[in-house]
Amino acid sequence: MNYLLVLVGAMAVSVSMVPILARLAPRLGLMDAPGQRKVHQRPVPRVGGIAVVCGALLSVGAFSDVDPLLASYLIGSGVLFGFGLWDDAAEIGHYWKFLGQFLAVMPVVGAGLYVTSLPFVGGPVTPVVGLTVTVVAMVGMINAVNHSDGLDGLAGGEVLLTLAGIALIAYLYDGRTTLAIVSGTLGGVLGFLRYNNHPARVFMGDSGSQFLGFTVAFLLVAITQRTATDLTPSVVLLLAGLPVADILVVFYKRISGGMNWFRATRNHLHHRLLDLGFSQVETVTVIYSIQVALVSTGIALAHAPDWLLVGIYLVTVAVTFGAVAMAERVGWQRVRGNRKVGATDDPGWSRWMVVAPRRFIGAAIPLYLAGTSLLVTDVSPWTGRAAAAMSAMLMLVFLFVRRAHSLIHRAVLYITVGVISYEAGMQLTLQGWSAVAESILFVLLLVSVVVAVMFSPGRRKVEFRPTSTDYLAVLILLAGLAISGGALLETQETRLIVEALILFYGVELIMTEKRERWHMLSTATLGSAMILALRTAF
């Protein structure tokens, strides 16, 4: 199975559905209004979960062999998605939500997936104990992720880090079903996060957050009970990460304060960091950093004793929440400076740093796309069909969508570039100097993007700005390379992902600064897609 194809397919569905659903959200009654415990100031479409779920499940179902275990996951996901969508539209009570969560878990345990060993327990547990623990733990994980969805990009980013850790373990143990689900979910989340950076244009809603919690819970049980049975049971704590500790602390504060367990309050970790003066992006970045530390430690010490893993988790949680509590107690507040980072007082130097990287990116990416479409020796039928479809969509968008910065315009362009770069990575075999030249090209593209961001002129109404998702992508890449000792760079899949990320950042930079609909990038993308489609047809 081609897991990269599953990921790209899910991301393509997700990223293309979001702008369409966002326009339909008011008619569907799926708008998230501002509230006392919410941080947004205007109604935001709550439809991202639909795109995430559709992208993940359609891609997994289309490219995977559905066995009983995978079927139980798909059924449970569908049930939970239905209840979540109902809640997004009608704000159902927590009792109905719990019913949906238990109904979603039942097919999974019915398929025989449940915990057989627990931390600090010498031997296997009885089926009754295992089933009970599994149901409670999975429902708890669903609610943990659901409650962490309080800031732009937060829940999706935390889950993405957990999924990346699970994917690495599944890859090492050749867990095919696990890898298929991880790949599809990663693609769905990545497509959604494109529109969920602060300030978010869409939210995922309960339909998305509960699905992600269910997926993480399912994968954690599956990877320890089916894929890698020699892992230490306590590793699931570190892989699940901060959402579990956060919801437990919240419940403790509610109970100690005499409040209803399930009544929404403003005492989650992200709320408390905001109250200390951190911005949304800073808050999300802090939580991402803690999450990647926990997940990376879990992978690195996956076979360590239970007491060590639990101890590391408890110490990390204690330090995190203890530091926040101490800051609250002494009245500490985050103070920001007013100096713009990356600015320069030298007009000549500034001009070179602003203009040169943008000119290089604007020329290199179109040339790469055009060269790829001509040099690929054997265009796959799937790529040909996808290229034909994207060519038609690009032509319609360029002709009839007036706004050059419309979500539809960007989404179609990103997907087309992704299809072309995927075909290049899979079919274009370079050796000797040509391989060196390709590596140099992508290194120069990466350096150009970094320099362009650092020396952003700040004069334009719209300009390229790094987001929390950019930080998340770098974190995942660096953590994966550190854990694998650099071995990940030797795999074709990792190389394709790195190259695709560099291309996407370059395209983002170009699209942010171009005012017109027709420019070198759009023309080269359309022409390259048409060439791939025609080469397949003839």
The C-alpha atoms of residue 437 and residue 429 are separated, in whole angstroms, by 13
| Region 136-146 average pLDDT | 94
Of 69-83, 150-164, 191-205, 501-515, the poorest mean pLDDT is in 501-515
Residue-wise pLDDT for 366-393, tens only, equals 898 888 888 877 777 877 888 888 888 8
* Token duo for residue 389: 């479809």
Query: pLDDT higher for 155 or 194?
Result: 155
**Lowest mean pLDDT across 19-23, 108-112, 350-354:** 350-354
Answer whether 188's CB lies under 8 Å from 207's CB: no
* Residue-level pLDDT at 314: 96
Across the strands, what pairs with 44?
A: 32
Percent of the chain's residues with pLDDT above 90? 30
Which residues on adjacent β-strands are paired with residue 32?
A: 44
286 to 243, 280, 299, 343, 449: CA distances (angstroms): 13, 10, 20, 25, 24
Render 261-322 in DSSP notation, one character per residue.
TTS--S-SHHHHHHHTT--HHHHHHHHHHHHHHHHHHHHHTTTS-HHHHHHHHHHHHHHHHH
- The pLDDT value recorded for residue 231 is 92
Confidence check: pLDDT of 459 > 50: no
Residues in a beta bridge with 259: none
Burial of residue 275 (number of CB atoms within 10 Å: 0-12, 13-18, 19+): middle
pLDDT in tens, 468-524: 676 677 767 666 666 655 566 566 667 777 787 788 888 878 877 766 667 788 888
CA angle 477/188/438 to nearest 5° reads 45
CB neighbour list of residue 138: distance below 8 Å, 6 or more residues apart:
101, 105, 108, 214, 217, 218, 221
3-state secondary structure 431-468: CCHHHHHHHHHHHHHHHHHHHHHHCCCCCCCCCCCCCH
* Confidence tier at 346 by pLDDT (50, 70, 90): very low
Furthest C-alpha separation in the chain: 74
> What average pLDDT does the structure give for the chain?
82
pLDDT at 200 over 70: yes
Question: Residue 311 and residue 483: Cα distance in Å, rounded?
Answer: 21
pLDDT at 345: 46
CA distances from 353 to 346, 400, 456 (A): 10, 36, 9
Q: Are 196 and 284 in contact (CB under 8 A)?
A: no
Q: How far is the C-alpha of 66 from the C-alpha of 476, rounded, in Å?
A: 29
Our CA angle for 301, 239, 75, nearest 5°, is: 135
Distance CA 107, CA 69 (A): 9
pLDDT of residue 342: 43
25: left (phi over 0), alpha (psi -120 to 50) or beta: alpha
Q: Give the rounded percent of residues in the chain with a pLDDT score beyond 70.
A: 82
Closest residue by Cα to residue 479 from 463, 494, 496: 494
Over range 283-304, report the average pLDDT: 90
Which pLDDT does position 486 carry in this prediction? 57
Query: Where residue 463 falls among pLDDT bands split at 50, 70, 90?
Result: low
3-state secondary structure at position 45: strand
Q: Does 457 have pLDDT greater than 60?
A: no
* Length of the chain, in residues: 538
Asked whether the beta carbons of 259 and 439 are under 8 A apart, the reply is no
Most confident region among 2-16, 181-195, 409-423, 440-454 by mean pLDDT: 181-195
